[in-house]
Chains A and B, each alone.
Chain A
Amino acid sequence: MTKFLATTALALALAMPVHAAQVAEGDTLADNQELNFWILDAIKSMDPHKNTDKSGSYVLSQVFEGLMNEDAKGAMVPGAAESYEVSEDGLTYTFKLRDAKWSNGDPVTANDFVYGWQRAVNPATASEYAWFMELMNIVNATAVVKGEMAPDQLGVKALDDKTFEVKLSAPTPYFIKTLSHTTTFPVNQKVVEEFGDNWTQPGNLVGNGAYKLDSHDLGVNLVVSKNDQYWDAANTIITKVDFITVNDQNVALTRYLAGELDWYNRLPAGQYPRLKQEYPDQASTSPQACSYAYIFNLSDKGPEALKDIRVREALALAVDRDIIVDKILQGGQTPAYYWTHWAIEGFEAPEIAMASMTQPERLEKAKALLAEAGYGPDNPLKLTIQYNTSDDHKKLAVAVQQFWKGLGVDATLNNVEWKVHTDRLQNQDFEVARYAWCGDYNEASTFLDWFRTDGYNSGKWSNAEFDKLLADAKTSDNPAELYKQAEQILAAELPYVPVYHYANAQIVNSDLRGVPYENVMDNWYAKDMYRVAQ
């Protein structure tokens, strides 16, 4: 990175407004500033280094604060750090921490971040997200996770109480965007060591976020209330957030309508149009950084037929994505012809020939391709589509089965439970499998890395040119162009059938302001919200 860019980044960080609940002119605050948020399942852990799911992240982002937060549009804004500098080679980041306190009154220091990050990679912690620090390219992260080096060898250092330095093993353009992830949150060493495994229990837990943990009844609810020690407590309006678990989506909707919940996100397929009609000021839909696909098994264990590009292209062409998004899902999802979600920051969508064809044209081409590959009425192609148990996945699998039937492909559906599905994906024990990927940070590499030869890549597709483009993108001044080229390779080789890009259809109490509808990463901070009198 050039010096110019480094200075610009710093200047940008400094110029950024403190993001707090900014009451719009003309809004009168309601007396009740409590928020009831629906979560589908029990919160698994209040330990930021052991959290593995989205609902856990919702809660932890209120109770802890990382170096950076996200604003209403998903842009990175200063959190616990008030500014940062990047070295010329892009390998050293130096963060200046703001004056802030833990909820027990201790000052938040650079050491808390050093301790937290070392803890995340320490094999003794056994964090399921230890790989995230490897993804961030922090010096020695991989060796520490493997147990080959001590955790204190991780490339992080406290230069003084308020200065935190991170050394990277390679320039990482998305580094700053990883800093709102729970794995990068600091923890209070004193508290963790004093209480051991019990440090996350209400009463013991100490955080540096805008809210503190009041109670947690597993599978019932989790309550956080305003933390008066928080550095921006004066501008925090929502006083309490109750995360209410309701395992049944229909009951959750009833309870929303009864006023027990203020915010219901991720409406089930098909529900959105009716709710939008009945509650136009409450129901909305906005893009969410996940993509849905069917993965072809191209490994040695996969079917021979799928190794033929013509077959893969025919199968991809035959899927009528408009029917899937308009008739089945109906929640603002968009048809997908490439892998990266279109709303990812800085991503320029590639031109894909298939996207501009009409469905009859696609079908015609698909039939020709399949015949060319030697499949037809005398020699029908037989495939098994595997998906995990869920009404929505089932609806899609049935639709795809029908689309392929139109080509003369005989597809069998194989519904398995989640653990079996993922186990088979990891062992290449499938033919065609349903899959979805959600971005870890707001940059295209979080999607495209999946198909790298050494990526998750369940279908074991491999392309040296693709790998090289992604490696080059890490140090490129114009990664968007390289990502576009990588998508073109995917579109030509089709190791998968891209189906749709996610949208988050939700229903939110109309008096709630500051909901970050435009943040594709689906992260939010109650401290940025408020309720108006109606």
Chain B
Amino acid sequence: MFGYILRRLAVAIPTLLLLIIFSFLLMHAAPGGPFTGERSLPPQVLANLEAKYGLDDPLLVQLWNYLKSVVLHFDFGPSFVYPDLTVNKLIADGFPITMTYGFLAFALAAVVGIALGSAAAIRHNTWLDYLAVGTAIGAQVLPNFVMAPILVLIFTLWFKWLPGGGWSFSDPSFWVMPVVALGTSYMASVARITRSSMLEVLSSNHIRTARAKGMPESRVILRHALKPALLPVISYLGPVFVSMITGSVVIDIYFSTGGIGRAFVDSALNRDYAVMMGVTILVGALTILFNLIVDILYAWIDPKIRY
């Protein structure tokens, strides 16, 4: 197992490197640059800007310099569009925010989703099942870009209970709407996956055996059914976790959270090369890490899997 983890980590490094090289080249191949705008800059001003950010070097030299500064100094460079900020600071400021609401939304999706799905499976074809399935479908068909403005309308304009946007680490009232808007549709997916997986497990041989031996139903569910039923849920939640904690552009736009989800899309549209690279590397590294964690969890849950 330990050897397996080491091997996976060793593969992660060239993977990340390839990711960096490909994104770098693709991004520079896109038309326009960070300083193209409706006013074309006089050539000398553009030359000064490009000299300042090293954009006048040949592309491969730029790539080499970039890799050097990332690997040797962990320095992701200055933002071209936010000249007051470095990419490191942008991520350091924005990532804790997205991580906070993303993690809470993930917890909401996982806990409520699993509970709802299990309840539906256990009380199969009862009102509880219909209610859970109905809720799940309702949550699924309401995308977050529809839900977000509706939440603001209800809780900010009508009831005046919650602030309509912004962020504060010390005041949870700012967290509620981003968490609900982000978590709901994932919760619905988790509930559906849990329900069908649980139904399958409950009709399997080892559960019948456990019941035949007179084991109390609660113990059958918790000890013997839940763990195997969660396998497909975990493989779904692994990548979802990464995409949730790295934020959502929809949440950032509607709730002005200041998270990095928006930076991802903005930097691509603005050709803010350094920010785009920084966020890509962050998401890439986290994706690799959490895929590994999911694989380890798998081995722990499913005795059939050995590495």
- The residues of A with any CB-CB pair to B shorter than 8 Å are 42, 44-47, 50, 52, 123-124, 126-128, 130-131, 134, 142, 145-147, 197, 200-201, 217-221, 244-248, 250-251, 254-255, 257-258, 260, 417-420, 422-426, 435-437, 456, 458
Binds A, one of B78-86, B210-218, B236-244: B78-86
Q: A47-B83, A248-B149, A419-B32 are in contact. Are A126 and B38 (CB under 8 A)?
A: no
> B148 — nearest CB in chain A belongs to which residue?
A251
- Contact pick for B37, options A219, A244, A422, A424, CB 8 Å: A422
B30, chain A: closest CB distance, angstroms: 7
How far is A106 from B290 in the complex, measured between Cα atoms in Å?
A: 53
How far is A123 from B252 in the complex, measured between Cα atoms in Å?
A: 35
CB of A251 within 8 A of CB of B257, answer: no
B51 lies within 8 A of chain A by Cβ = yes
Chain A contacts for B204, CB-based, 8 A: none
CB of B163 within 8 A of CB of A456, answer: no
Chain A contacts for B33, CB-based, 8 A: 419, 423
Chain A contacts for B271, CB-based, 8 A: 419
Provide the B76-95 mask, 1 if CB < 8 A to any CB of A, else 0.
00100111110000100110
CB of B90 within 8 A of CB of A124, answer: no
CB of A251 within 8 A of CB of B165, answer: yes
Q: A255-B165, A257-B157, A435-B38 are in contact. Are A126 and B82 (CB under 8 A)?
A: no
CB of A251 within 8 A of CB of B32, answer: no
Provide the B255-279 mask, 1 if CB < 8 A to any CB of A, else 0.
0111100100000011100000000
CB of A245 within 8 A of CB of B256, answer: yes
B45 lies within 8 A of chain A by Cβ = yes
> A142 — nearest CB in chain B belongs to which residue?
B44
CB of B48 within 8 A of CB of A221, answer: no
| Contacts beyond the supplied A200-B84, A254-B152: 16 A-B pairs with Cβ under 8 Å | A44-B84, A124-B48, A126-B45, A126-B51, A126-B52, A218-B93, A219-B257, A220-B166, A244-B166, A245-B258, A246-B164, A247-B256, A255-B157, A419-B271, A420-B32, A422-B32
CB of B45 within 8 A of CB of A128, answer: yes
CB of A50 within 8 A of CB of B83, answer: yes
- Contact pick for A260, options B30, B85, B156, B270, CB 8 Å: B156
- Contact pick for A123, options B48, B94, B148, CB 8 Å: B48
In the A-B complex, list the 5 residue pairs whose CB atoms are closest, starting with the nearest. Answer: A419-B32, A423-B32, A220-B258, A126-B52, A247-B253
How far is A458 from B37 in the complex, measured between Cα atoms in Å?
A: 12
> B255 — nearest CB in chain A belongs to which residue?
A251
- Contact pick for B254, options A128, A248, A417, A437, CB 8 Å: A248
> A420 — nearest CB in chain B belongs to which residue?
B31
How far is A247 from B41 in the complex, measured between Cα atoms in Å?
A: 27
> A388 — nearest CB in chain B belongs to which residue?
B38
- Contact pick for A419, options B30, B45, B83, CB 8 Å: B30
> B263 — nearest CB in chain A belongs to which residue?
A219
CB of A45 within 8 A of CB of B83, answer: yes
How far is A255 from B177 in the complex, measured between Cα atoms in Å?
A: 14
Chain A contacts for B282, CB-based, 8 A: none
B200, chain A: closest CB distance, angstroms: 42
CB of A254 within 8 A of CB of B48, answer: no
CB<8 Å pairs between A and B, sample of 7: A44-B84, A52-B37, A254-B157, A258-B157, A418-B269, A424-B31, A425-B40
Report which residue of A134, A219, A419, A425 has the largest number of chain B beta carbons within 10 angstroms of its beta carbon: A219
How far is A262 from B15 in the complex, measured between Cα atoms in Å?
A: 50
CB of A423 within 8 A of CB of B36, answer: yes
Q: A131-B42, A254-B157, A424-B31 are in contact. Are A217 and B36 (CB under 8 A)?
A: no
B199 lies within 8 A of chain A by Cβ = no
B256, chain A: closest CB distance, angstroms: 5
How far is A251 from B157 in the complex, measured between Cα atoms in Å?
A: 10
How far is A130 from B259 in the complex, measured between Cα atoms in Å?
A: 32
B122 lies within 8 A of chain A by Cβ = no
Provide the B45-77 mask, 1 if CB < 8 A to any CB of A, else 0.
100110111000000000000000000000000
A190, chain B: closest CB distance, angstroms: 19
CB of B262 within 8 A of CB of A219, answer: yes
CB of A246 within 8 A of CB of B165, answer: yes
CB of A128 within 8 A of CB of B262, answer: no
- Contact pick for B149, options A47, A142, A251, CB 8 Å: A251
How far is A378 from B64 in the complex, measured between Cα atoms in Å?
A: 58
How far is A124 from B52 in the complex, measured between Cα atoms in Å?
A: 7
CB of A244 within 8 A of CB of B256, answer: yes
Report which residue of A123, A257, A425 has the largest number of chain B beta carbons within 10 angstroms of its beta carbon: A123
Chain A contacts for B153, CB-based, 8 A: 254
CB of B82 within 8 A of CB of A128, answer: no
Chain B contacts for A130, CB-based, 8 A: 42, 45, 48
A115, chain B: closest CB distance, angstroms: 18
- Contact pick for B84, options A47, A142, A250, CB 8 Å: A47
Q: A45-B84, A128-B45, A131-B41 are in contact. Are A260 and B164 (CB under 8 A)?
A: yes
> A131 — nearest CB in chain B belongs to which residue?
B42
Provide the B21-41 mask, 1 if CB < 8 A to any CB of A, else 0.
000000000111101111111
> B156 — nearest CB in chain A belongs to which residue?
A258
- Contact pick for B38, options A220, A420, A422, CB 8 Å: A422
CB of B157 within 8 A of CB of A128, answer: no
Provide the B226-255 mask, 1 if CB < 8 A to any CB of A, else 0.
000000000000000000000000001110
> Which residues of B (86-137) have their CB < 8 Å from a CB of A?
90, 93-94
How far is A135 from B262 in the complex, measured between Cα atoms in Å?
A: 35
How far is A136 from B135 in the complex, measured between Cα atoms in Å?
A: 64
Chain B contacts for A425, CB-based, 8 A: 38, 40
CB of A44 within 8 A of CB of B165, answer: no
Chain B contacts for A201, CB-based, 8 A: 84
> Which residues of B (162-218) have their CB < 8 Å from a CB of A?
163-167
> B155 — nearest CB in chain A belongs to which residue?
A258
Chain B contacts for A217, CB-based, 8 A: 93, 167, 258
CB of B44 within 8 A of CB of A146, answer: yes
B219 lies within 8 A of chain A by Cβ = no
B8 lies within 8 A of chain A by Cβ = no
Chain B contacts for A219, CB-based, 8 A: 94, 252, 256-259, 262
CB of A46 within 8 A of CB of B45, answer: no
Chain B contacts for A424, CB-based, 8 A: 31
> B78 — nearest CB in chain A belongs to which residue?
A197
Chain B contacts for A458, CB-based, 8 A: 40
CB of B42 within 8 A of CB of A145, answer: yes
CB of B48 within 8 A of CB of A147, answer: yes
> A217 — nearest CB in chain B belongs to which residue?
B258
How far is A217 from B257 in the complex, measured between Cα atoms in Å?
A: 9
> B79 — nearest CB in chain A belongs to which residue?
A44
